[in-house]
Structure 1
Amino acid sequence: MEHGSFEEQSKATFSLTDEDHTLANAVRFTLNQDPRVTFCGYSIPHPSDAQVNIRVQTTGDPAREVFNDSCQDLMLICEHVRGTFDQAVLKFKTGKGLSAMDIRK
């Protein structure tokens, strides 16, 4: 089975339904952190459609693989932020996060 040429695999547009700028911009950010990415951008075809198109061009690695890796990176970032937030809330609730100034108020 032919999988396309080297150049064809390094360029792709991914369409995500039921999404908007929130996810698209975060994915774009993580993609642009990857040194394998030569171009990344997204567009929303129409404001009334909950769909985004993310275009990825790489230095040669398959765009699908790079896109998948970036989504995994974004998931890890979100897990880290959530864990840090949960720890801060717990610390605050147990009173360990309050300073002397906070107690006087």
Structure 2
Amino acid sequence: SHSSTFCFNGEDHTLGNSLRFLLNKDPRVVFCGYSVPHPSENKVNVRVQTTGAPAKEVFKDALLDMVAICEHVSTTMDSAVERFKANEQRPE
């Protein structure tokens, strides 16, 4: 199907908005939005409509992109911490 809603329990705006951002950058996506049904519920619904590609495939690609971004941020942060520690130990 080229239109699907994906539900995530235990999640909030952080995941919803990040996925919305990545999905809206994909040229196969016609519409993408997310909602949190109720503020006291940790639940996010992400709606995706595509130009014809399977929504599940497009959504999976966005999740893989998010994993790659998180890995890059983690690696970059680890490198920065190591450089900071190395510079901190130098006598002035």
Normalised to the residue count of structure 2, the TM-score between the two structures is 0.93
Moved over 3 A (4+): none
The 5 A counterparts of 1:30-69 are 30-69=22-61
The answer as to 2:77 corresponding to 1:85 is: yes
Summarize deviations over 1:33-88 as a string: whole Å, max 9, x none.
Answer: 11100100000111111101000000100000100100000010010011011101
Alpha-carbon offset, residue 30 of structure 1: 0.9
Distance 1:15 1:64 in 2: 12
- Counterpart position of 1:14: 6
Distance 2:69 2:28 in 1: 19
Distance 2:65 2:33 in 1: 17
Q: Among residues 65, 74, 83, which one is paired with 2:66 in the alignment? A: 74
The answer as to 2:21 corresponding to 1:29 is: yes
Q: Which has the larger radius of gyration?
A: 1
Equivalenced residue count is 90
Aligned letter for 2:31? F
Aligned residue for 1:55, secondary structure, equals strand
- Unpaired runs of 5+ in structure 2? none
- Unpaired runs of 5+ in structure 1? 1-8
Distance 2:11 2:18 in 1: 12
Aligned letter for 2:18? A
